[in-house]
Amino acid sequence: MLYGFWFLKVYGTESNAAKVFQVDEKTYRKWSKIAIQCMARVSVIRWENRFRGWTHLIPSSYVDGIHCPVQEKNPNDPDDFSHKINSSCLTYEVATAIGSSNIVHVSGGVPAGAWPDIKLARSANGIVGKLLRNEMVAADKGYTENGNDGRILPSYEMPNYL
């Protein structure tokens, strides 16, 4: 999916993308095409679909941040720097339903260095504002180590029914 997101956002050449992802052009072409075809089959990303095949509020879904490489500015802007990829990136927040694995939430497209996961989750379009009372989402330490507000469940504390 990352190849597909990058293709749609950057629309760069295959040779540049192959260098960024450290694969050959044929591999990038194949997987970016598959990712875009999969995205095309998704009719709509609906937050309400997080309960398909799933009835629990804790957690209702799993959220994580993804970093998509972009062309570096000249001069480099530290706000763009991704610690995950060691390059300039945009960050997106993607939530998937636990019961169906459907993507149920996407937000972001902001500079990775200036927007840590928890900041994006708490933003106007972030996942925290969408949660029902007593609902929590599962997430990795990027969401929990810097001031968890009680709406995000660290993945190492997942309930036994998972």
Please state the domain count of the chain: 2
Ranges of the chain whose pLDDT falls below 50: none
113, with CB counted inside 10 A (0-12, 13-18, 19+), is: middle
Q: Provide the pLDDT for residue 105.
A: 93
Q: Provide the pLDDT for residue 84.
A: 83
Q: Provide the pLDDT for residue 146.
A: 58
Are β-strands 61-69 and 137-139 bridged in parallel, bridged antiparallel, or unpaired? parallel
Q: Are residues 36 and 67 in the same domain?
A: no
Q: Provide the pLDDT for residue 130.
A: 92
Q: Provide the pLDDT for residue 54.
A: 92
Flag whether 159 is in a domain. no
Q: Provide the pLDDT for residue 115.
A: 92
Distance CA 23, CA 17 (A): 8
Q: Are residues 134 and 59 in the same domain?
A: yes
Question: 3-state DSSP call for residue 100?
Answer: coil
CA 10, 16, 20, 21 dihedral sign is positive
Q: Provide the pLDDT for residue 41.
A: 74
Q: Are residues 37 and 58 in the same domain?
A: no
Q: Provide the pLDDT for residue 2.
A: 80
Closest CA to 63 of 141, 6, 134, 132: 141
Q: Are residues 71 and 114 in the same domain?
A: yes
Q: Provide the pLDDT for residue 48.
A: 92
Tokens of 142: 């990027």
* Omega of the bond leading into 154 within 30 degrees of 0 (cis): no
Query: What domain range includes position 23?
Result: 1-41
Q: Are 19 and 13 in contact (CB under 8 A)?
A: no
